[in-house]
Amino acid sequence: MTDICVLSPAKINLGLSIIGRRTDGYHEIQTVFQKIALYDEITIKQTDVRGSISLRVSDPSVPDDMSNLAAKAAALLIHEYDIRCGISITINKRIPAGAGLGGGSSNAAATLRAMNTLFMLNLSEVQLKHHARALGADVPFFVTDISTAYGFGIGDQLLPVHMGVPFWTLIVFPNIPIATSWAYEAFSKYNLLTKQKKRISYINSFNTLEDIINNLVNDFELVVFPAYPRIRMLRERLLECGARGALLSGSGSSVFGVFDSYAACRDAYDVFAEEKNSLRFCAQALVQP
């Protein structure tokens, strides 16, 4: 085998609490990660030039140099395991950048997994997660087969969660890229840690849609909504369109609504057609078999 093609899923956060700032500058969080059926497609091929990495990305807003997390993931494995060829990476993007949907982290994890298969490295999930942590806090979640997970620490410590509720999400991205670093800095600047009212506790199973709805809280809304009122408005419109619950995903700027059926999700999707300069996606939550 000289090439491999893999899917790289997006995620939403079914809850996110910021607990405090660590001495190393990172923030302690509690969150529930949920993979959804919105995918980038990544193709990796062997090339003849040892150690070389070439990258092509369909979205011109995403870097196609070594600052891209997928390229960093490839470089890490090439160096660590003395892979004696080069690789080319092609990423066909559907997950928008700067949307709070984890596209970059997912691409990095998919690259790690694909190269593990392509070069028969036989790395265990524990080993892959070790390499994933070096790339970013969200990457360990994507490198696992877990569809739903409780994340703590900086988000890299994971406990599996049983998702017993099939549900659909309508994701609306208003084309406002938000840097996670800005969101954390704003949160710290206004000392919002003292104003938190709810923590995300570990729940080992979501058995009803109400279990999901009751968990929907995101501390980043405290800084994102005042700075970007349009994003708050989009979340409110999701509720008006029949979402059982709605939330900012990650640090934004995507918001998502939770629906109990595809039909209800699609009806809301059609309503948002009039929303200019926005992208929208109907995506089912991925459920562990």
Which CATH number does the domain housing residue 92 bear?
3.30.230.10
* Residue type, position 88, single letter: S
Tell me, yes or no, whether 76 lies in a domain: yes
pLDDT value for 181? 87
269 is a domain residue: yes
Same domain, 116 and 216: no
Domain end, chosen from 116, 138, 160, is at 160
259-279 pLDDT, tens digit per residue, is: 999 999 999 999 999 888 899
Mean pLDDT across the chain: 93
Domain check: are 89 and 110 in the same one?
A: yes
Mean pLDDT of 200-226: 92
Catalytic residues: 11, 138
Categorize the per-residue pLDDT at 31 as very low, low, confident or very high, splitting at 50, 70 and 90: very high
Task: Say how far apart CA 20 and CA 104 lie, in whole Å.
Answer: 25
Could you tell me if residue 84 is inside a domain? Answer: yes
pLDDT tens-digit series, residues 241-256: 999 999 999 999 999 9
pLDDT of residue 198: 64
Higher pLDDT, 35 or 51: 35
Task: Tell me: pLDDT of 193 over 60.
Answer: no
Q: Is residue 289 part of a domain?
A: no
The last residue of one of the domains, among 119, 141, 160, is: 160
Which residues lie below 8 Å from residue 284, measured CB to CB, with a gap of 6+? 36, 37, 166, 167, 168, 169, 262
146 and 44 both lie in a single domain: yes
Number of domains in the chain: 2
HEC readout, the chain: CCEEEEEEEEEEEEEEEEEEECCCCCEEEEEEEEEEEEEEEEEEEEECCCCCEEEEECCCCCCCCCCCHHHHHHHHHHHHCCCCCEEEEEEECCCCCCCCCCHHHHHHHHHHHHHHHHCCCCCCHHHHHHHHHCCCCCHHHHHCCCCEEEEECCCCEEEECEECCCCEEEEEECCCCCCHHHHHHHHHHCCHHHHCCCCCCCCCEECCHHHHHCCCCECCHHHHHHHCHHHHHHHHHHHHCCCCEEEECCCCCCEEEEECCHHHHHHHHHHHHHCCCCEEEEEEECCCC
Are 34 and 143 within one domain?
yes
Statement to judge: residues 113 and 193 lie in one domain: no
% of the chain residues with pLDDT over 90:
82
| pLDDT over threshold 60, residue 284 | yes
pLDDT at 195 over 60: no
Q: Are residues 195 and 212 in the same domain?
A: yes
Q: Encoding tokens for residue 12?
A: 């939403």
Does residue 36 lie in a domain region? yes
pTM confidence score: 0.94
Indicate whether 136 and 177 sit together in one domain.
no
The answer on 271 and 182 residing in a single domain is yes
Of 124, 140, 160, the domain-final residue? 160
pLDDT of residue 274: 85
Say yes or no: 154 and 205 in one domain: no
Range of the domain at 99: 3-160
Q: Is the pLDDT of residue 100 over 60?
A: yes
Which domain CATH number covers 270? Answer: 3.30.70.890
Residue 102 lies in a domain: yes
pLDDT of residue 196: 54
Token duo for residue 71:
């390229």
Is the same domain home to 110 and 197?
A: no
What is the band of 201 on the pLDDT scale with cuts at 50, 70, 90?
Answer: confident
Query: Quick one: tokens of 28?
Result: 């302690």
Confidence of residue 215 (pLDDT cuts 50, 70, 90): very high
Q: Is there a single domain that holds both residue 129 and residue 249? A: no
Together in a domain, 145 and 179: no
Query: Would you place residue 180 in the very low, low, confident or very high pLDDT band (cuts 50, 70, 90)?
Result: confident
Structure tokens at 69: 């997390």
Joined tokens for residue 252 = 């934004």
